[in-house]
């Protein structure tokens, strides 16, 4: 590849830098408390990987072998690659008791393997050393090296530096989380992003929410998920920016902080409570809960742009609050959290887009501790027959699956939830929308060439007010305990 040659090529800069780094844990992590951090970080990352027992693994950026060791314990065979000969030699010394490891000293852009060679490609701090062009070409190669259904795991420092030790000449490129996701999309539609999250150990030890890990799967000819596509489009970075102009930054939905105070006021949240925020968006509710109640919040959302923005804003919090919240991209139906881990599971106007409510509530029930609370709001069908304009609206925002109070109550009770409380807050919601309309009118001049977005939001808000008055649409508040 063209990047391999030249005295000032990206390859040369990488090679010179890593040949000058000490082959040790401190040299690899370039941070204080590297030994302790490494132990916690390794355990967390290994728990995030899919099952690879008895399979073939490619370990990129293997270094002195802190992950090579753990991978070799489970895999059929591990191919460990690093650009530094001294790191590879130390890796061999550390893992000389294993017979299922092959070592290669090469820049990753120079690698070549037969198609379908690996079930798992594991990459630790590699892409941030490559140019965008190199990343695109490298991702295409990884796709070919993976077996169908195989996984690609990578972790990167997003937005800015994470390490605390300044090493001169470090040729890193700090990209937003969303940039990596875009590079994946451009490389191939066969790459499906399953999950991506803050690395918790770096929050704990470094106050660094911008250390992010990604889990991707090769899925050939998979049918497009309409919900995912719709939400990605609706909550693009451009649309989020437009919604914040309308509702008042940093909020992207009606009611803003006043509604948040009212919703959470009766939940008896306490410091140390563990909260799961499903459909967390840009993190406003999560930040409010951590700031107001000192609870721990894990936010999940399908929107890459929303989580990208949430993590960027998390970096601006003070150290105490920053540690209390973390974010993850993914479909809640694909998630698996520890049983009985959360005290409260919360969602706002999100479940309407989830068709498999029984699976949703079974997972929520499993993740809640005994006595824990599920609390959510959602759009609901009203008591009046739907009009043609209302049905047209539902058709335009599909896939959308609005339910009734009775069907939600039945779904919760069928799963075993007790003390199910339902509240029709349609009138209160209409009052908020009427107040919003007054605010919207004063924001129109901010939109310039995007004024059509503003007018569309005003139009749909006016229609929602009309449909609520006519009892075609309402808002429900639900609370139940395990």
Digit-coded pLDDT (tens) for 337-361 = 999 999 999 999 999 989 899 999 9
In sequence order, what are the residues at sequence separation of 6 or more whose Cβ sits closer than 8 angstroms to the Cβ of residue 231? 302, 303, 353
Identify the band that residue 2 occupies on the pLDDT scale cut at 50, 70 and 90.
very low
Is 60 exceeded by the pLDDT of residue 290?
Answer: yes
CB of 340 closer than 8 Å to CB of 311: no
| pLDDT (0 to 100) of residue 6 | 55
Is 90 exceeded by the pLDDT of residue 32?
Answer: no
Is 70 exceeded by the pLDDT of residue 50?
Answer: yes
Task: Specify which of 324-333, 389-398, 426-435 reaches the highest per-range mean pLDDT.
Answer: 324-333
Q: Which is higher by pLDDT, 119 or 443?
A: 119
Is 60 exceeded by the pLDDT of residue 209?
Answer: yes
| pLDDT (0 to 100) of residue 255 | 61
Per-position DSSP letters for 87-120, written without gaps between them = HHHHHHHHTTT-SSEEEEES-GGG----TT-EEE
Is 70 exceeded by the pLDDT of residue 7?
Answer: no
Is 50 exceeded by the pLDDT of residue 278?
Answer: yes
Tell me whether strands 418-424 and 473-481 are parallel, antiparallel or unpaired: antiparallel
Q: Which is higher by pLDDT, 3 or 368?
A: 368
| Residues linked to residue 108 through DSSP beta bridges, in sequence order | none
Q: Name residue, tokens 């009009």.
A: 387
Conformation bin of residue 30: beta by default, left when phi > 0, alpha when psi is -120 to 50: left
| pLDDT (0 to 100) of residue 87 | 96
Is 70 exceeded by the pLDDT of residue 128?
Answer: yes
Is 90 exceeded by the pLDDT of residue 143?
Answer: yes
Is 90 exceeded by the pLDDT of residue 411?
Answer: yes
- Of all residues in the chain, what percent carry a pLDDT higher than 90? 70
Is 60 exceeded by the pLDDT of residue 150?
Answer: yes
Closest by alpha carbon to 285, among 270, 302, 300, 266?
Answer: 300
In sequence order, what are the residues at sequence separation of 6 or more whose Cβ sits closer than 8 angstroms to the Cβ of residue 122? 49, 57, 58, 59, 60, 67, 71, 153, 154
Is 90 exceeded by the pLDDT of residue 371?
Answer: yes
The model's pTM is 0.92
Per-residue pLDDT, averaged over 255-268, amounts to 81
With residue 311 as reference, give the H or E element that holds it. Answer: helix 304-314
| pLDDT (0 to 100) of residue 66 | 95
Name the average pLDDT for the chain: 91
| pLDDT (0 to 100) of residue 402 | 85
Is 70 exceeded by the pLDDT of residue 373?
Answer: yes
Is 90 exceeded by the pLDDT of residue 420?
Answer: yes
CA atoms within 13 A on the CB side of 380: 24
| pLDDT (0 to 100) of residue 1 | 38
Q: How far apart are CA 400 and CA 379, in angstroms?
A: 10
Q: How far apart are CA 271 and CA 289, in angstroms?
A: 10
In sequence order, what are the residues at sequence separation of 6 or more whose Cβ sits closer than 8 angstroms to the Cβ of residue 166? none
DSSP single-letter state for residue 454: H
Task: Specify which of 10-24, 135-149, 227-241 reaches the highest per-range mean pLDDT.
Answer: 135-149
Tokens of 271: 């410091």
Per-residue pLDDT, averaged over 143-166, amounts to 90
In CATH, which of 3.40.1480.10, 3.40.50.150, 3.30.465.10, 3.90.550.50 is domain 2-222? 3.40.50.150
CB of 411 closer than 8 Å to CB of 305: no
| pLDDT (0 to 100) of residue 3 | 47
Kindly provide the residue ranges of all beta strands, DSSP E only, lying in 125-243, ordered along the sequence: 146-157, 191-198, 211-218
In sequence order, what are the residues at sequence separation of 6 or more whose Cβ sits closer than 8 angstroms to the Cβ of residue 229? none
Task: Specify which of 249-253, 399-403, 476-480 reaches the highest per-range mean pLDDT.
Answer: 476-480
Identify the band that residue 310 occupies on the pLDDT scale cut at 50, 70 and 90.
very high
Tell me whether strands 342-348 and 368-381 are parallel, antiparallel or unpaired: parallel
Q: What CATH fold (topology level) applies to the domain 227-481?
A: Rossmann fold (3.40.50)
Determine phi and psi for 450, rounding to 5 degrees: -95, 20
| pLDDT (0 to 100) of residue 463 | 93
What sign has the CA pseudo-torsion 403, 407, 409, 410?
negative
Give the residue range(s) of CATH 3.40.50.150 domains in the chain.
2-222, 227-481
CB of 264 closer than 8 Å to CB of 289: yes
Chain segment 437-472, per-residue pLDDT in tens: 888 888 888 888 889 988 988 898 999 999 999 999
DSSP percent split of the chain into helix, strand, coil, nearest 5: 45, 20, 30
CB of 213 closer than 8 Å to CB of 151: no
Q: How far apart are CA 14 and CA 33, in angstroms?
A: 25
Identify the band that residue 5 occupies on the pLDDT scale cut at 50, 70 and 90.
low
| pLDDT (0 to 100) of residue 222 | 81
| pLDDT (0 to 100) of residue 165 | 66
Q: Name residue, tokens 């497009």.
A: 224
């Amino acid at each position: 590849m063209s990047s391999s040659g030249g005295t000032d090529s990206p390859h040369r800069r990488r090679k010179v830098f890593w040949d000058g780094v000490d082959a040790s844990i401190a040299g690899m992590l370039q941070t204080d408390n590297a030994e302790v951090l490494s132990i916690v970080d390794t355990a967390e990352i290994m728990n995030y990987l899919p099952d690879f027992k008895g399979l073939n693994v490619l370990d990129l950026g293997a270094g002195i072998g802190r992950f090579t060791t753990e991978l070799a314990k489970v895999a059929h065979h591990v191919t460990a690659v690093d650009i530094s000969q001294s790191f590879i030699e130390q890796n061999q010394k550390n893992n000389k008791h294993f017979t299922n490891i092959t070592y290669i000293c090469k820049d990753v852009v120079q690698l070549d393997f037969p198609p379908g060679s690996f079930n798992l490609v594991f990459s630790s701090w590699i892409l941030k050393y490559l140019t965008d062009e190199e990343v695109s070409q490298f991702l295409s190669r990884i796709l070919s090296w993976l077996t169908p259904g195989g996984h690609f795991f990578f972790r990167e420092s997003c937005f800015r530096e994470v390490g605390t030790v300044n090493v001169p000449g470090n040729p890193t490129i700090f990209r937003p989380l969303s940039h990596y996701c875009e590079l994946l999309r451009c490389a191939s539609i066969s790459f499906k992003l399953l999950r991506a999250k803050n690395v918790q150990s770096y929050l704990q030890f470094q106050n660094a929410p911008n250390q992010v890990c990604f889990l991707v799967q090769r899925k050939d000819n998979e049918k497009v998920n309409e919900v995912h596509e719709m939400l990605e489009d609706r909550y693009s970075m451009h649309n989020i920016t437009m919604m914040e102009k309308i509702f008042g930054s940093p909020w992207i939905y009606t009611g803003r902080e006043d509604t948040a105070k009212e919703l959470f006021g009766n939940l008896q949240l306490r410091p140390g409570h563990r909260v799961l925020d499903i459909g967390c968006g840009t993190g406003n509710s999560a930040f409010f809960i951590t700031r107001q109640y000192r609870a721990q919040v894990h936010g999940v959302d399908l929107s890459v742009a929303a989580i990208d923005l949430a993590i960027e804003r998390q970096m601006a919090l003070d150290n105490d609050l920053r540690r209390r919240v973390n974010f993850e991209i993914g479909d809640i139906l694909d998630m698996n959290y520890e049983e009985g881990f959360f005290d409260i599971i919360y969602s706002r106007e999100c479940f309407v887009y989830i068709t498999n409510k029984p699976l949703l509530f079974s997972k929520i029930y499993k993740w809640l501790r005994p006595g824990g609370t599920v609390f959510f709001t959602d759009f609901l069908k009203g008591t009046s027959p739907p009009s043609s304009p209302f049905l047209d609206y539902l058709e335009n925002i599909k896939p959308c699956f609005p339910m009734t109070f009775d069907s939600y109550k039945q779904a919760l009770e069928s799963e075993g939830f007790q003390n199910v409380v339902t509240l029709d807050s349609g009138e209160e919601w209409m009052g908020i929308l009427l107040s919003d309309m007054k605010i919207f009118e004063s924001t129109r001049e901010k939109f310039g060439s995007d004024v059509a977005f503003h007018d569309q939001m005003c139009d749909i808000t006016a229609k929602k007010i009309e449909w609520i008055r006519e009892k075609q649409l309402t808002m429900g508040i639900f609370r139940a305990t395990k």
